[in-house]
Amino acid sequence: MVTSKIVTIERHILEQQQQFPHASGAFTGLMYDIALAAKIISQEVNRAGLEDILGETNEHNIYGERQQKLDLFADDIIFRINDHTGRLCVIASEENDDIVPIPDQFPTGNYVLLYDPLDGSSNIDVNVSIGTIFAVHRRISGQDRGTLKDVLQPASQLAAAGYVIYGSSTMMVYSTGQGVHGFTLDPRVGEFLLSHPNIRIPDKPMYYSANQGYEKYWTEGIKQYVAWLQGIHKDSIYSLSNRYIGSLVADFHRNLLRGGVFIYPGDLREPDKPYGKMRLMFEAQAMAFLVEQAGGYASDGVGSILSIQPHDLHQRVPLIIGSRDLVQKAEYFIRQTDAEWIEAYTAYRERRPADL
């Protein structure tokens, strides 16, 4: 007889919350809701290719809307599952310019939800893995409806974060600050089942992930660092393979399980934009929280991502994330040669939000 226990994501969240006897259940409910949104998005992602075969139907789907672009669909589903539950005071999505208040007719709660509904959008139409990223802060403003102040908190203050990867199977990986746990969606029963408890990023790395096509734009420190990873720098101790999908969730997930580093650095192509492409609030914060919970490290090249006080909802950030030693080595190379970039980027990093 098989005796191993089957742990659904609901059971896991509940068991973790039982360690906090005063927990109201709101947080547990919020995690359930995110998992539910993930199941719905996963279904749509799986049948996205059929649209081309079956054509536009002009019909409404079960959620009462016409077919729409997948990323907008995902954005809408996450919002609509969470806007009325009384668990959140404010929501922010990568798809919206501003924070989205909880509508007046609904109650509010103590949590703040930030999300990137479908990351890796250039991969959607070519059947390559994409993902959803989410992060949860606690309300600090004391305002019923929540404000930008509640949203613009450093990642060190996160209550929870995670992602969903829509790959050869769908997985949800999350942390509430008690380790990182991965669940695989069993499509037969529609449940996320615990498949990867207590994920630790391996000490021995296998991969580095960078868009090598941009090497011409990189600073000297990043060029030397990547040569070091490749095994062609005089001080190299590794000779890593390059794997780059162009979906942060997928690149991060592989490196989390296999060991390695993902690099999307800043550069001086446009001196007033030394910060690279990644979004601090919707991409980097959640991943930084997760990687630290798994024993790794995330840096912007100057210091920890967790310590950055955000100044803008759509703030960009250089991102070097993965096995701790590898990320620290990047900081070392940058310190050695990139003084001009450090000065330009630090001025951006240290900006303070207006009116908070």
- For the CB of residue 20, give the shortest distance to ligand AHM in the complex, in Å: 33
Contact 199, 36 (CB under 8 A): no
Identity of the residue, 180 or 249, whose beta carbon is nearer to ligand AHM in the bound complex: 249
Identity of the residue, 116 or 300, whose beta carbon is nearer to Mg ion in the bound complex: 116
Identity of the residue, 44 or 116, whose beta carbon is nearer to Mg ion in the bound complex: 116
* Stretch of residues binding ligand AHM (CB under 6 A), selected from 113-121, 148-156, 164-172, 326-334: 113-121
Identity of the residue, 124 or 194, whose beta carbon is nearer to Mg ion in the bound complex: 124
Q: Is 116 a residue that touches Mg ion (CB under 5 A)?
A: yes
What is the DSSP secondary-structure string of 213-249? GGGGGS-HHHHHHHHHHHT-STT----PEE---S-HH
**Sequence-separated (6 or more) residues with CB below 8 Å from residue 92:** 99, 100, 112, 113, 114, 115, 151, 281, 282, 313
Among 44, 71, 75, 119, binds Mg ion (CB under 5 A): 119
- For the CB of residue 116, give the shortest distance to ligand AHM in the complex, in Å: 6
Among 277, 295, 312, 314, binds ligand AHM (CB under 6 A): 277
Distance CA 221, CA 320 (A): 13
Helix axes 26-46, 70-82, angle to 10 degrees: 160
- For the CB of residue 249, give the shortest distance to Mg ion in the complex, in Å: 9
- For the CB of residue 121, give the shortest distance to ligand AHM in the complex, in Å: 4
Contact 156, 167 (CB under 8 A): no
Chain residues 162-221 in contact with ligand AHM, contact rule CB under 6 A: 211
Distance CA 317, CA 308 (A): 10
Among 67, 121, 184, 195, binds ligand AHM (CB under 6 A): 121
- What tokens does 122 get? 């250039």
- For the CB of residue 283, give the shortest distance to Mg ion in the complex, in Å: 5
For the chain, the residue count is: 356
Chain residues 234-263 in contact with ligand AHM, contact rule CB under 6 A: 246-248
Residues paired with 298 in a beta bridge: 321
Q: Which amino acid is at 354?
A: A
Which residues contact Mg ion (rule: CB under 5 A)? 116, 119
Which residues contact ligand AHM (rule: CB under 6 A)? 119-121, 211, 246-248, 277
